[in-house]
Structure 1
Amino acid sequence: MKKILFVLTFVFILAFPFVSADSSDYEMTAVYVNGIQAEGSTVQVELGTNAQIQIYVQGTGETTDVRVRAWLGGYEYGDIEETTEVFKVEDGVSYKEFLYLTIPDDLDVSSNEYTLHVEIYDGEDKESQEYTLYLEQERHEVSVEDILLSSTTVAPGDYFGVKVRLENQGYKDEEDVKVTVSIPELGISNRVYVDELLSGDQADASTAYLVIPSDAAGAYEVLVTVAYNNGYSEVTGTSYIRVEGEQVYDENTFVSVSSITGLTVGETSTYKVQVTNLADSAKTFYLTVDGLNAEYSSPITVPAQSSGQFEFTLSPESAGSDSVFVEITTDEGLVTQKLLSVDVAEQSASWVLLVSVLLAVLVGLGVLFYLRKL
């Protein structure tokens, strides 16, 4: 009989190794989440916000030094938790403590319900409670994931490109998202648009170009402002550039860029850049084209007093006004920079109709051929 009792006691200890006795010196009387009493209810909390946890503590015995801790488990990259500093609890006195849990915007909310753990503890005992939170995405929430600069150091008079990566962390799709890039201290700005940003998706806005004033020098903040939800919501991001030195130009070259017209959604168009080397020796020229899914040819070497030609293609994905950046450089410096405004047309309805007719004809011929074989 004694052996059986010993075994049962041992099994009980193994089964409940982390159970500790409730303290007789303090108790948790109430918990509120964002002002809503948590006991007996499920409290809704949005991702990407700071949840306020309000804990009421009552002293019920000897004076004791305690802490209050709140946490959520289940986050892939660690627990979400916060703990107070040590404070003294005395018999018959009520206390109110605040904790703030930062709810990550990338928390998995496929099941929505998470357990909020709250405990008061000292060196020996603790009081703990669990509450249910209903976590969900915000209705409208766009974040600036990255700000990509064409260079972190530029010279006065340079074109300076900024590409912004966005993520839609809300559960509503967003349309006509406006991205404004500015350097407030220099009084310059430009804006581009993202036509559609689906829930859960990331997208890169077209590169926004700024011209650095010729008298600028020093470090400047680059401010990105994103307006969405029909302009009712806004988020910002910042980066920095340094303007220093003087731009080195190669002036012994003449450049001609073919007119960029006839752009149509879903079609690839080819354009040419002609460079004439007016120097007394051969030079290697480098072409850079940005915008509308541009692809461009490799560097070319042009003999003295001769001309050479680059080609580049553009493949627009959406209609409307846009811009294309073209830059020619040599080993001696910048030859030219051009920011060209372009218009992109919708795919021709007649072309779509022609394709449909051809498909119908092919299907008809196939059916006729099949029937004749019967």
Structure 2
Amino acid sequence: MDTTKMKTKNFLVLLVAVFALAILAVSNASAANFDRIGINEQLETDDNRITQVFAGETIKVSTVVTMGADEQIWNARITARLIGQSGTLVESKEFVAVKGKTYSQTLFLKVPFDLDPSQQRFTLLVTIEGTDAGEAGRKEISLVVQRESYQLEVLAFDAMNEVKAGENLALDVVLQNRGYLKAENAYLRATIPELGISKTVFYGDLYPTDKSGDNEEDAVERRMFLSIPSNAAEGLYTLELEAFNDDSSTLTSKKIFVTSAAEDSRVVSSSSSKTFAVGEETIYTMTLVNAGNSIKIYDLVVDSDSGLNVELDESVVAVPAGSSRTVQMRVTASENGRQDFTVNIRSDNQIVDSAEFTANVEGTRNIAGNAAVLLTVVLAVVFLVLLIVLIVLLTRKPEKTENFGESYY
């Protein structure tokens, strides 16, 4: 008797559970229904149809959904994802789904590159759901994901966002074969078109899958350097990376800011203003400082007023990295008054700095006075010579005369 009651009770529990699931299924079926789903403008109305897409492709998912007569969702949204592939979920904006109304939503889903090569068939799940109501309808689409036969990709690259003119820009680039077949003789070319510079590096053969034990790799990293011209103007430039071989090519880019090299060069002058007379030579000095990390060659160009004559000890000066050099300027004036001159410092055909100097010219050099002094010195020397001669003559003793007597034989 107890056994019969137990069986009856279990049967009733099972019947209630089945009835509840049936009610839930009916309610879900009537909540919302996807009338049409399109993949890349191709309508998918047949549940048995299989759509082909490519790895790395961004597919367009167009949906048309009709709400049931008894269902309304205040914060509804359409979602799409590849079942079993994390990071593929995309969602529409929230909207109010009113009873019996039809709505259209478009989503864009990126098919991952790094799918299991042995698996080609995947399932795209499209749902309509609400935060409070949960899932109100769903549709599954079968997809065949295929790789392109030949496809190279710049998987990752590391480069500084800022570089100084005259220095090297280091690039660490990982190149990967995303194709179905082997990519033979792969190259990478880095270019900054505005500066007219380019560098190409050989990556070799890249395989569809990584077999490190057989030295067959699908991704390889290389380092390369781009030499930025020292006369590059400061500004934002586009760095282009092109991965290519005989079968395919792909292009990616990044913005690089180039700072001017002029800030590495400075001019220090001990005195920028001097006072002297017409015809008098005066020496000015200035020191060239190279604060960069490479040798600098400076061309010095003088721009002066017509009444000044400026001569440089050196017009071309080489300054090692982190060093300085002092240059002298010999200046004479042909007329009175304030007169100016400027020394422009150029490096790589670019003015990197300049120094301004002032000459206050007053009066004329006293040439007559100097001649009188010279004449006085000459006369003093002559007088001294005559005095010495006179002393010698006065102190000289007269010669004695020898007196011989007559001899008689």
| Structure 1 and Structure 2 fold alike (TM over 0.5) | yes
- Rg (Cα) greater in structure: 2
Question: Which of 159, 167, 170 is matched with 2:176 structurally?
Answer: 167
Contact 2:238–2:253, Cα closer than 8 Å, also in 1: no
Distance 1:13 1:144, change over 3 A: farther
Query: How many angstroms apart in 1 are the aligned matches of 2:185 and 2:70?
Result: 63
CA contact (8 A) 1:192 1:208 kept: no
Q: Does 1:32 align with 2:49?
A: no
Task: Identify the match of residue 104 of structure 1 among 112, 124, 135.
Answer: 112
Q: Provide the residue aligned with 1:114 in structure 2.
A: 122
Q: Are 2:197 and 1:188 aligned?
A: yes
Tell me how large the CA RMSD over aligned residues is.
3.6
Among residues 139, 150, 153, which one is paired with 1:129 in the alignment? 139
Q: 1:37-81 CA distances to partner (integer Å, 9 max, x unpaired)?
A: 332211112111112111122344257333222222212xx2421
Aligned to 2:270: none
Q: Residue in 2 aligned with 1:22?
A: 28
Gaps of 5+ in 1: 252-329, 334-374
**Structure 1 Cα separation of the partners of residues 195 and 103 of structure 2:** 52
221, 224, 227: which is aligned to 2:244?
Answer: 227
Q: Distance in 2 between matches of 1:240 and 1:24?
A: 56
Which SS does the other structure have where 1:21 is aligned?
A: helix
- Aligned-partner Cα distance in 2 for 1:250–1:53: 60
Alignment of 1:58-77 (within 5 A): 58-62=66-70, 64-65=72-73, 66-75=76-85
One-letter code aligned to 1:133: L
What amino acid sits opposite 1:192 in the alignment? V
Q: TM-score, normalised by structure 2?
A: 0.52
Over 3 Å counting, the alpha-carbon distance change for 1:26 and 1:10 in structure 2 is closer
1:154-186 residue CA offsets vs partner (Å, 9 max, x unmatched)? 443234443422011111222343422122332
1:207 alignment partner, one of 224, 230, 233: 224
Percent sequence identity is 22
- State the alpha-carbon separation in 2 of the partners of residues 92 and 15 from structure 1: 24
Cross-structure match for 2:188: 179
> For residues 147 and 90 of structure 1, what CA distance do their matches in structure 2 show?
49
Corresponding position of 1:236: 252
The whole-number CA distance in structure 2 between the counterparts of 1:56 and 1:30 is 5
Q: CA–CA distance in 2 between the matches of 1:59 and 1:171?
A: 43
Give the drift of 1:144. 0.9
Structure 1: 4+ residue segments shifted above 6 A: 10-16, 330-333
Which deviations, in whole Å up to 9, do the C-alpha atoms of 1:93-126 show, x marking residues without a partner? 5432211111111122422111211222344361
Instruction: Note the alpha carbon deviations across 1:218-239, whole angstroms, 9 max, x for none.
Output: 5544321223453x53221325
Cα distance in 2 for partners of 1:14, 1:111 equals 38
Aligned 8 A contact 1:73 1:79 in 2: no
CA contact (8 A) 2:186 2:244 kept: yes
SS in 2 for 1:80: coil
* 1:132-166: CA deviation from partner (whole Å, max 9, x where unpaired): 111222222211123244x6654432344434220
Query: In 2 relative to 1, CA 102–154 (structure 1 residues): closer, same or farther, beyond 3 Å?
Result: closer
- 1:311-350 map, 5 Å: none
- Residues in 1 aligned to 2:199 and 2:242: alpha-carbon distance in whole angstroms: 11
The alignment partner of 2:141 has SS state of: strand
Is the alpha carbon distance of 1:174 and 1:59 closer, same or farther for their aligned partners in structure 2, counting shifts above 3 Å? Answer: same
- Residue type of the alignment partner of 2:126: V
